Structure 1
Amino acid sequence: MKRRDFVGLTSLAAGALFLPSIPGFGGNLVDPERLLEQVDPAVKKRLADAALNAAKSAGASYTDVRIGRYLNQSVFTREKQVQNIASGESYGAGVRVIANGTWGFAATNDVSEAGLAKAAQMAVAIAKANSKAQKEQVQLAPQKGFGEVSWKTPIVQNAFEVPIAQKVELLLAANAKALDNGASFVNSSLFQINEQKYFASTDGSYIDQDIHRIWPTFTVSVVDRATGKFRSRDALSSPMGLGYEYLTPKAQDQVAGPAGTGLIGYRNSYDMLADAALAAKQAKEKITAKSVVPGKYDLVLDPNHLGLTIHESIGHALELDRVLGYEANYAGTSFATLDKWKTKNFQYGSKLVNIVADKTQPGSLGAVGYDDEGVKTGQWDLIKNGVLVDYQKIRDQAGIVGQDHSDGCCYAQSWQDVQFQRMANVSLQPGTTKMSVDDMIKNVDKGIYIAGRGSYSIDQQRYNFQFGGQTFYTIEKGKIAGMIEDVAYQANTQEFWNSCAAICDQSDYRMFGSFFDGKGQPSQVSAVSHGSATTRFNGVNVINTARKIG
């Protein structure tokens, strides 16, 4: 998936009729009731053992098996009508082996003992064929087996158990709120995913996991028929690793935005109706908003915006496979090279910048108990007090940087795809001094407040970039002075993160998420969250995106 598709997927309702082309969706269309079925772990263990035994007999020195049932449901609406509803299922198994010191992989949708044994034999044959061109043997970081264990996303209400009629009613109610508040057009959608994954390996693990994700979103547009001008505003929701409870708004999950904006930040629940109503009002306000004057500004960035900047300039930059050049042909490399890490003093950002990777963060998209090669997940530092201290890595990468363990961030988008290194939840730690958004703005003489994700561009080394947003407000002498338009900021990664001057405290901390983050050849998607509190960056270059050059 191309990088620009990351943002385009926030307006998917327009493509509802082409659902099978959406990453992670499609598969075999099934009756919604089928989505509630489960496969007995004892059956999956028997199937996995068939593959493990067959691979060993064929000459594998290591084998892991992933049996996956991947379920999805999506609902699309526009104004007062339903555009599309689809429920999909994909079920099969992938077998990965090491034979003659080389990786081999094969997958099958014949989920039987004979089918998995055949796939295992094929994987070994592929490994042996590949070994003729292998220069160095694969070295895996040691990993103990966990025996028979399970993990499940701690949801309150399974979204697949909620009647489709109830979901449609919610989306149409959100559309109505937008139309009642001046919207000319509105589309809304709801995406739900359930990954039922079983992992077994020759290390002695049999891991059963049940993972849930949900994403409500919309796009509201307002047309001024007198002038022909139009503006849009997307939802300020975040995809989450939660159940349907995310769509039951709770006051304690809401964080007030800056005075004078009407904005609300959301944590573990989301008020879709309130956001749709505000979106219509803000889209209308955008039509008459003044265009930004280019120059240097102090930027106050909301978490629903800053998450994308974290994702692109830190999350991807610190993937070890990218640093090592494994992704150079498709997605680029990284400026954060090993020589910078080895100095132990490379100042990636200011001393306020503490970035952690965390595959256990509750409510996050990337939260799992174990990764797709059987490693127990955890949290680790990437940037400490502004200094680069580590990368994200998996079992066959750890030894390259002199470490003896994987970080537990291996993932495959389905049973038929080989697992590889993917981004963990990568988050900016909140400030330790009590500070609200209004407190932060009081200290800004000339600045801009930005909320929501927008268009962006970043180079192949994750260094030079440009980011837009959804809504922009000018700050003058410590107060919000009104909405502006046509804003984008430009910087390089090191310059930008070293300009970090203040971070709000834990009470403002929220998560941004990517439901369809693309990487790899063949391309795969994964889901990942990025947490932060509202953060200020001083003296950042802002351009006017509406002005013509020359």
Structure 2
Amino acid sequence: MKRRDFIQLAGMGAGAMMLPMPAFSRTVDPAEMLVPLMDVKQKKALADVALNTARSLGATYADVRIGRYLNQFVATREKKVQGITNTESFGTGVRVIVNGTWGFGASNEVTPDGIKKATERAVAIAKANSKFQKEPVKLATTPSYGEVSWKTPIQKNGFEVSIKDKVDLLLNANAKAMEKGASFVNSLLFLVNEQKYFASTEGSYIDQDIHRTWPNFSVSMVDRQSGQFKNRSAFSAPVGMGYEYLDGKAEDKIQGPGGIILYNKSYDIVEDAAMAAEQAKQMIAAKSVEPGKYDLVLEPSHMWLTIHESVGHPTELDRVLGYEANYAGTSFLTLDKWQSKNFKFGSKIVNFMADKTQVGSLGAVGFDDEGVKCKSWELIKDGVLVNYQAIRDQVNIIGQKESHGCCYSQSWSDVQFQRMANVSLQAGREQVTPEQMISGVDKGIYIVKDGSFSIDQQRYNFQFGGVLFFEIKNGKIAGMLKDVAYQANTQEFWNSCAQICDERDYRLNGAFNDGKGQPSQSNAVSHGSATTRFNGVNVINTGRTI
């Protein structure tokens, strides 16, 4: 690989290449990905082998997941195809409670004998661990749903679209960016299909078919005279949708402040790539920001990451309890703050919901990975911390009787545990557009798209960058800025929240690769918001050295 190729891939493609691939993945022909491996009756018969074996060995509870995980990755650079990968992983994971203790076993041998052996290993592990268990596992009750199914409501199955059509789309986007003067451009398309079957000794047999789609690119512009360069990534969002997301319908385009075009519900990658090249030129010529206090107007494609790090992670109960600490830290939202019933997390207009049912989101499923029907619930209400994110063996700790339905495993070979739901800032109650919001700002910065970030181990002190920055002077966009990052602590920041646009501006964004746990697992999660204003936030210049 040439050095220039390496730098480009490191900047964008490498991140996608490192997206999670389930264990025992094998490369397959795309046509094979459309052929079912077994029907629901066969899955139920195999699941019953695990459940009956677990009962016979003394388990008081057992669940089994039979999973088929399909991934397709198409990557291009300028006029060339960089890589096409199609993978399949198929296997079974069995979880049991014996002597009040969890045990887990997995196998890629999806046969009665393979599943029986995996179950026996799970029971043996539980019995061995029970010697050290101080308190027995307490599971919140959940209804028996019988035999049910759930599917992502897609209009086009991306795996049915030809590789040629996908490559042509990406190369067309690259060509448009190059026509506008881009120095380099990488583009990619990542498709995921999780076919998951869950069964438990409580009587649920749940079949789910989940689809996710992520188009992305990075356009680089180099000013050879000055030696400066800038990258502008795609305005796309990873979504819980099918290939229809790439239709780029005119009615789904939003004319944003500063002359930018934003996207909602569907996406035009070719148009966005051309716009990215033009904006990358402007980014090089932009004025460097003067450090100081500014009112920030944050667009949803930027806001999602701030929400993810400062709200999503600290409201995970296992972080609060210290069960999750080594990977990305614990949480400042300790139980005493919740128990006080008046901890002022943010201003009165700040309301956060966790939601595993939101249509089009990455986290949308019918049931979580321990058979709980998914729902939405409040985390922050009128600025006050009111709840956490918790699963069946955690909710008793906070005096609740019902799981929140946010248990997930990235594959059949990994044990399921508490993962972040879609955590979203609710739109404002008063009708306000981004333009109207900006008109009320004397000295501020409008920020679009997420960039680099840093946050401490308790999810409290942080710094966030972005991609596009527009100076606001006397209620108007006054040109582009660069070298911008803002600093605050979580409580200070959300208490400075002064205005939120209404639901007309509400949009989702998110990530395929939310990491957690040891061994680490990845979770796909979305975060929604409308454009939001924060007053008096400290802004630094990242281009200046001390």
SS in 2 for 1:96: strand
Deviation at 1:12, TM superposition (A): 4.0
Once the two structures are superposed, the pairs formed by residues 115-130 of structure 1 within 5 Å of their partners are 115-130=114-129
> Which residue of structure 1 aligns with residue 31 of structure 2?
33
Which residue of 490, 493, 496 maps to 1:493? 490
CA contact under 8 A between 2:189 and 2:216: conserved in structure 1? yes
SS in 1 for 2:130: helix
> Which residue of structure 1 aligns with residue 364 of structure 2?
367
Query: Following the alignment from structure 1 to structure 2, what is the Cα–Cα distance between the partners of residues 300 and 376?
Result: 37
> Which residue of structure 1 aligns with residue 138 of structure 2?
139
Deviation at 1:22, TM superposition (A): 3.4
**In the superposition, relative to structure 1, how do residues 34 and 257 fare at CA in structure 2: closer, same or farther (>3 Å)?**
same
**In the superposition, relative to structure 1, how do residues 507 and 283 fare at CA in structure 2: closer, same or farther (>3 Å)?**
same
Deviation at 1:355, TM superposition (A): 0.2
Deviation at 1:24, TM superposition (A): 3.0
Query: Following the alignment from structure 1 to structure 2, what is the Cα–Cα distance between the partners of residues 132 and 144?
Result: 31
CA contact under 8 A between 2:22 and 2:89: conserved in structure 1? no
Deviation at 1:329, TM superposition (A): 2.3
Q: Which runs of 5+ in 2 are unaligned?
A: 1-7
**In the superposition, relative to structure 1, how do residues 10 and 433 fare at CA in structure 2: closer, same or farther (>3 Å)?**
farther
> Which residue of structure 2 aligns with residue 164 of structure 1?
163
Query: Following the alignment from structure 1 to structure 2, what is the Cα–Cα distance between the partners of residues 131 and 153?
Result: 39
Q: What amino acid maps onto 2:185 in structure 1?
A: V
SS in 2 for 1:380: strand
SS in 2 for 1:539: strand
The answer on 1:213 being equivalent to 2:229 is: no
Which residue of 370, 374, 377 maps to 2:374? 377
Q: Which runs of 5+ in 1 are unaligned?
A: 1-7
CA contact under 8 A between 1:24 and 1:525: conserved in structure 2? no
> Which residue of structure 2 aligns with residue 313 of structure 1?
310
The answer on 1:288 being equivalent to 2:288 is: no
SS in 1 for 2:413: coil
- Compute the TM-score of the two structures, normalised by the length of structure 2: 0.97
**In the superposition, relative to structure 1, how do residues 25 and 56 fare at CA in structure 2: closer, same or farther (>3 Å)?**
closer
Query: Following the alignment from structure 1 to structure 2, what is the Cα–Cα distance between the partners of residues 22 and 208?
Result: 25
Q: What amino acid maps onto 1:426 in structure 2?
A: V
> Which residue of structure 1 aligns with residue 70 of structure 2?
71
CA contact under 8 A between 1:312 and 1:462: conserved in structure 2? yes
Q: Report the more deviating stretch, 225-234 or 368-377.
A: 225-234
Where in structure 1 do 4 or more consecutive aligned residues deviate above 2 Å? 8-16
Q: What amino acid maps onto 1:283 in structure 2?
A: A
> Which residue of structure 2 aligns with residue 341 of structure 1?
338
> Which residue of structure 2 aligns with residue 112 of structure 1?
111
Q: Percent identity?
A: 68
Query: Following the alignment from structure 2 to structure 1, what is the Cα–Cα distance between the partners of residues 87 and 335?
Result: 42
CA contact under 8 A between 1:10 and 1:218: conserved in structure 2? no
Query: Following the alignment from structure 1 to structure 2, what is the Cα–Cα distance between the partners of residues 22 and 493?
Result: 28
Q: What amino acid maps onto 2:188 in structure 1?
A: S
Q: What amino acid maps onto 1:30 in structure 2?
A: V
Deviation at 1:264, TM superposition (A): 2.0
SS in 2 for 1:286: helix
**In the superposition, relative to structure 1, how do residues 10 and 367 fare at CA in structure 2: closer, same or farther (>3 Å)?**
farther
Once the two structures are superposed, the pairs formed by residues 186-265 of structure 1 within 5 Å of their partners are 186-258=185-257, 261-265=258-262
Query: Following the alignment from structure 2 to structure 1, what is the Cα–Cα distance between the partners of residues 394 and 357?
Result: 21
CA contact under 8 A between 2:12 and 2:218: conserved in structure 1? no
Once the two structures are superposed, the pairs formed by residues 419-430 of structure 1 within 5 Å of their partners are 419-430=416-427
Query: Following the alignment from structure 1 to structure 2, what is the Cα–Cα distance between the partners of residues 229 and 478?
Result: 31
Once the two structures are superposed, the pairs formed by residues 526-545 of structure 1 within 5 Å of their partners are 526-545=523-542
Deviation at 1:13, TM superposition (A): 2.3
Query: Following the alignment from structure 1 to structure 2, what is the Cα–Cα distance between the partners of residues 10 and 149?
Result: 43
Task: Report the RMSD for the aligned CA atoms in angstroms.
Answer: 1.3
SS in 1 for 2:466: coil
- Compute the TM-score of the two structures, normalised by the length of structure 1: 0.96
Deviation at 1:14, TM superposition (A): 4.9
CA contact under 8 A between 1:10 and 1:234: conserved in structure 2? no
CA deviations over 1:23-80 (Å, ceiling 9, x no partner) = 2368200000111122201110000000000111111000000000000000000000
Deviation at 1:547, TM superposition (A): 0.8
CA contact under 8 A between 1:95 and 1:120: conserved in structure 2? yes
Deviation at 1:252, TM superposition (A): 2.0
> Which residue of structure 2 aligns with residue 13 of structure 1?
13
Query: Following the alignment from structure 1 to structure 2, what is the Cα–Cα distance between the partners of residues 201 and 9?
Result: 43
The answer on 1:513 being equivalent to 2:507 is: no
